[in-house]
Amino acid sequence: MTEINKNPNLLEDALRNALRREDAPEGFALRVLARALPQASAAQEAQRASWLSIFSQPLLRWSAVAAVTICLVIGGIYYRNLQRQRAEGEAAKQQLMLALRIAGSKLQLAKEKVNEINTSRPEPQPQNRSPRSRS
Amino acid sequence: MVFSIAHHFLTDAPSAEELAQDVFLQLHATLPTLKSEEHVKFWLRKVTAHRCIDYQRRRKLPQVSLDEAPEPMSPAQSSDPLVARRLQQFVASLPEKPRLIVILRYQEDMLPEDIATVLAMPVATVKSYLQRSLALLREKVTRTMGEVTI
């Protein structure tokens, strides 16, 4: 029989026995998960809110509104200019086509006239050669 | 491990569970920064140890001193669960840091060097706390339990 209060090793063994690991209560993991899930979604919400929180300051909010308005106005003007240029281009194209058609018909007319003149003119007769030129 | 350290330190199961849940929630947030299983184990012991001390200070849990611990009716055997229970009470009556060191030494079977790393204190201090705690516990066992035999 050995007394634990006199033998250091036995006291240490008794402490190991008294302080051996205990299992967590039943359902512990589920309770941790139940707490973790709302925290995870709250963290996501906070991250999203931190993005939007920059608009909580009036100066930044109005700056953002002004920037969006300016972008819309500039975009509108650019779009209208683009539309106008397209319309002008289309009109110029139509005019060019018309001009080409007119020019084509005029050319055809002129060609017909030239042909008509050529057919109505008599054939030129060949001339005699001089004797001087022969010697 | 986490619940067990907290339970032996706080001697209160609901408080130990609350603390353990807090530790695991913190682990959930910190996990990406931990590199290996050993690192996780080290981190859990360290955070649990510090949270135990913080929790005790915040809640001001009643601490029974060695002298106030009730005397047993008769000498008991060390294999007796009652002896283990009394030893747990004696450990719970130790001051914060020595108590944590004894729990890490005999529950987690950690070496004084490892305990010193976890608690960020010199190894000599850990050894000194351990020796004094063992002497105190031995004295208490002698005084309150008489001849405990195995």
Sequence-separated (6 or more) residues with CB below 8 Å from residue B68? B93
Q: Which token pair is B113?
A: 């060097």
Q: Per-residue pLDDT tens for A84-134?
A: 999 999 999 999 999 999 999 999 999 999 998 888 876 666 666 555 555
Q: Per-residue pLDDT tens for A36-82?
A: 887 777 777 777 777 667 777 788 888 888 999 999 999 999 999 99
* Average pLDDT taken over every residue of chain A: 81
- For residue A90, CA distances in Å to A81, A87, A102, B43 come to 14, 5, 18, 74
User: Which of A3, A10, A44, A47 to substitute to test the interface with B, most B CBs within 10 Å?
Assistant: A3
Per-residue pLDDT band for B85 (boundaries 50, 70, 90) equals: confident
Rounded to the nearest angstrom, the minimum Cα separation between B25 and chain A is 6
Local structure of B64: helix, strand or coil: coil
CB-based contact, B25 to chain A, within 8 Å: yes
H/E element holding A96?
helix A58-120
Q: Which of A3, A22, A39 minimises the CB distance to B4?
A: A22
Q: Per-residue pLDDT tens for B42-78?
A: 889 999 988 888 888 887 655 555 455 444 434 444 4
Q: Give the per-residue pLDDT at B69.
A: 47
Q: Give the per-residue pLDDT at B26.
A: 87
Residue of B nearest to A29 (CA): B21
Hey, are the CB atoms on A8 and B109 less than 8 Å from each other? Answer: no
Phi-psi region at B69: left, alpha or beta (left = phi > 0; alpha = psi -120 to 50): beta
Q: Which token pair is A88?
A: 């002008």
Look at the block and give the residue holding tokens 């050669």: A129
Q: Which domains does chain B have, with CATH numbers?
A: 1-62 (no CATH), 77-145 (1.10.10.10)
Q: Give the per-residue pLDDT at B72.
A: 41
Hey, are the CB atoms on B4 and A35 less than 8 Å from each other? Answer: no
Sequence-separated (6 or more) residues with CB below 8 Å from residue B142? A5
With a pLDDT cut of 90, the percent of chain B lying above it is 11
Record the pTM: 0.56
Q: Give the per-residue pLDDT at A3.
A: 59
Q: Which token pair is B134?
A: 């063992």
Q: Distance (Å, rounded) from C-alpha B124 to C-alpha B99? A: 16
Local structure of A3: helix, strand or coil: strand
Residues of chain A contacting B, Cβ within 8 Å:
1-5, 8, 10-12, 14-25, 28, 31-32, 35-36, 39-40
Rounded to the nearest angstrom, the minimum Cα separation between A1 and chain B is 6
CB-based contact, B131 to chain A, within 8 Å: no
Q: Give the per-residue pLDDT at A127.
A: 64
Q: In 10 A of CB A51, how many CB atoms?
A: 8
Q: Per-residue pLDDT tens for A4-19?
A: 555 667 888 888 888 8
Q: Distance (Å, rounded) from C-alpha B127 to C-alpha A88? A: 94
Q: Per-residue pLDDT tens for B100-121?
A: 899 998 888 889 999 999 888 9
- For residue B7, CA distances in Å to A46, A53, B12, B25, B88 come to 34, 42, 6, 18, 10
Q: Give the per-residue pLDDT at A94.
A: 93
Q: What ipTM is given for this predicted complex?
A: 0.71
Cβ pair B121, B111 in contact under 8 A: no
Q: In 10 A of CB B31, how many CB atoms?
A: 10
Look at the block and give the residue holding tokens 């807090």: B22
